[in-house]
Structure 1
């Protein structure tokens, strides 16, 4: 019996999302690997957007206003968060 059929037979309502994804992807391990890779790509893309945004904002501001700019601080915090999250995912994989 296929994993998807077995899952549908065990549940009267819709099966749990995680179990359904694992059945479609032929295993929870493959699902976990794909989910981690997707999370890593997301954090890498978000870090890149924050890096580009902060560089653009720094170029637009006079030098004496960069230290007190709230928007630049928010972009720097977002960059830090996404870099740390991506690093944590890489460390967890290794």
Structure 2
């Protein structure tokens, strides 16, 4: 027989995890095994966090624009609800920017 001899594939991450635990494996380790390893799990978690912050920033932006439209001009500066929405927008924009900087 010619060619490269192939070795049989080793046990999967999930099989290894089940082999080391008599009871239910830890949730984090199970998630990592199901998703295909720590690197892939971290990549998916990073992408999910970025999508979450982008969505929450968009909601805060729409909410603050809606709130500004309903307020008289002299109450915009002192409105606490608008201040909370702006703080939320700032937080989520900063968090999304930090995740983008980490990414590349």
Report the TM range for the smaller structure's normalisation: over 0.9
Find 2:13's aligned residue among 3, 14, 26. Answer: 3
Considering only aligned residues, what root-mean-square deviation do their CA atoms show, in Å?
0.8
Aligned length: 94
The Cα shift of 1:12 comes to 2.1
- Provide the secondary structure at the position in 1 that maps to 2:31: helix
| Structure 1 residue 55 corresponds to structure 2 residue 65 | yes
TM-score, normalised via structure 2 length: 0.87
Instruction: Give the aligned partner of residue 23 of structure 2.
Output: 13
Q: For 1:32 and 1:16, how far apart are their aligned partners in 2?
A: 17
The Cα shift of 1:71 comes to 0.1
Instruction: Give the aligned partner of residue 74 of structure 1.
Output: 84
Instruction: Give the aligned partner of residue 42 of structure 2.
Output: 32
The Cα shift of 1:13 comes to 2.3
Instruction: Give the aligned partner of residue 7 of structure 2.
Output: none
Mind listing any 5+ residue stretches in structure 2 that lack a counterpart? 1-10
| Bigger share in helix | 1
Find 1:64's aligned residue among 55, 71, 74. Answer: 74
